[in-house]
Amino acid sequence: MTVFNNVCEVIDDVAIGLKKLFALKETMENRIALKRQDPKAFQELPYLVIVIDEASALMSGCKNQKALADIIQNLLQRCRHANMSIVLSAQNPTKENLKIDLGSVACRMAFRTARAIQSCTLIDEGGAEDLMEQGDMLLATPQYSSPQRLKGSYISKGELPTILDEILEKYGDKAYALDEDDLQFCGDEGTDDELFDLSVTSSTSTKTQVDDKLFAKVIIWTLGQKVASANLIKKAAKISWDRGNGFLNRLHQIGIVGEFNGNSREVIPINIEDLDEEVVLFLERHDYSRDNIVEAFASRS
């Protein structure tokens, strides 16, 4: 899988992979909410494709398999509404080791399987056990009443780097990956030790401290602007859109930005006297003096 590293984000650590899935579920929920609130901003979001190379192996690495299955099931059912797609693959596909209702998967394909039961798991009927190798497949989609036999292009390991180089040259600047912040702040559900057969080292209090420190930085930046939006915060703080949107909502809660005007919110305070004293004290606790706050206002163009 390392050959794909330059084209997309490749995760080979089970613990990180599990956390990514929780972060992606929150990303999906946030995108669906944005789609209702601001369709234009939603259309500007990058399209995400999530590929789980060995779904049964990921499942076996999770202590609470039902919780993980519920997350994947939720993604399968709703991700298409959030400009996201999820692709599952398995070397030994059986209902027992996948623990996922594949009825939510609209398009399914089976290469040659070792047994008929594996074919039935993938496409609801046998036949894949009789296929040839190297691209021979059965494709089941809603457009057809029965699986269709297709011959895909076989790409050898020697050809793969050349093809990936061409993809990178054409689309490399469009690559997107959830950053580390998404992993650290994907919510209580995403950091629940009971879900993993692995320990999660960072404590909730540490995460809150780091989150507050960055939020203080976002406040100072916002005070120097006339308007703020999730996209602007994302670029200024170098974080994901979802986290930027979360900070934007917090800014609204403490009275620094008003209601939406199009895709952005107007910054309300025009000087330090307009700030709630609790906000000033919060900034001071995170190493921003009153002089720093005044300088932030003065930098507004």
In a domain, 117, yes or no: yes
293 domain residue, yes or no: yes
| % residues pLDDT > 70 (the chain) | 86
**Is the entire prediction scored with pTM above 0.75?**
no
Any domain includes 189: no
Task: Give the confidence band of 179 by pLDDT, cuts at 50, 70, 90.
Answer: low
| Final residue belonging to a domain, choices 134, 163, 178 | 178
pLDDT at position 192 is 44
Residue 217 has pLDDT above 90, yes or no: yes
Residues 14 and 144 in one domain: yes
* 187 lies in some domain: no
Assigned domain for 183 exists: no
CATH of the domain at 128: 3.40.50.300
Residue 59, domain member (yes or no): yes
Q: Which amino acid is at 91?
A: Q
User: What integer pLDDT is reported at residue 174 of this predicted model?
Assistant: 56
Same domain, 103 and 248: no
Instruction: Tell me: do 27 and 89 sit in the same domain.
Output: yes
Same domain? 146 vs 283: no
User: Does any domain span residue 135?
Assistant: yes
pLDDT at 209: 57
Count how many domains the chain has. Answer: 2
Instruction: Write the pLDDT tens digit of every residue in 91-105.
Output: 777 777 777 777 778
pLDDT digits (tens, 9 = 90+) for 72-88: 888 988 898 999 999 98
pLDDT, one tens digit per residue, over 45-59 is 888 888 988 787 777
Tell me whether strands 108-110 and 227-228 are parallel, antiparallel or unpaired. Answer: unpaired
- Is residue 173 domain-shared with residue 209, that is, in the same domain? no
Q: Where residue 252 sits, what CATH number does that domain have?
A: 1.10.10
Q: Which of 64-68, 141-145, 168-172, 208-212 has the highest mean pLDDT?
A: 141-145
Dihedral angle, C-alpha 167, 172, 175, 181, nearest 10 °: 140
Residue 66 has pLDDT above 60, yes or no: yes
Residues 157 and 123 in one domain: yes
Q: Does 132 fall in a domain? A: yes
Residues 169 and 222 reside in one and the same domain: no
Q: Spell out where the chain has E strands.
A: 48-52, 84-88, 108-110, 136-140, 148-151, 227-228, 257-261, 264-267
Q: Are residues 169 and 212 in the same domain?
A: no
Last residue of a domain, one of 178, 213, 241: 178
- Does residue 127 share a domain with residue 274? no
Asked if residues 215 and 287 have their Cβ atoms less than 8 Å apart, the reply is no
Looking at residues 212-232, what average pLDDT do you find?
92
What pLDDT is attached to residue 187? 41
- Higher pLDDT: 203 or 229? It is 229
The answer on 133 and 248 residing in a single domain is: no
Give me the pLDDT at residue 167, please. Answer: 81
Residues 29 and 143 in one domain: yes
Mean pLDDT calculated for residue range 119-135 = 86
Q: Which of 162, 178, 194 is the last residue of a domain?
A: 178
On whether both 169 and 209 belong to a single domain, the answer is no
- Give the per-residue pLDDT at 197: 42
Domain coverage including residue 92: 2-178
239-267 tens-digit pLDDT: 888 788 889 989 998 999 998 888 889 99
Q: Tell me whether residue 239 is exposed, middle or buried, using C-beta atoms within 10 angstroms of its C-beta: 0 to 12, 13 to 18, 19 or more.
A: buried
The token pair that represents 63 in the structure block: 């202590």
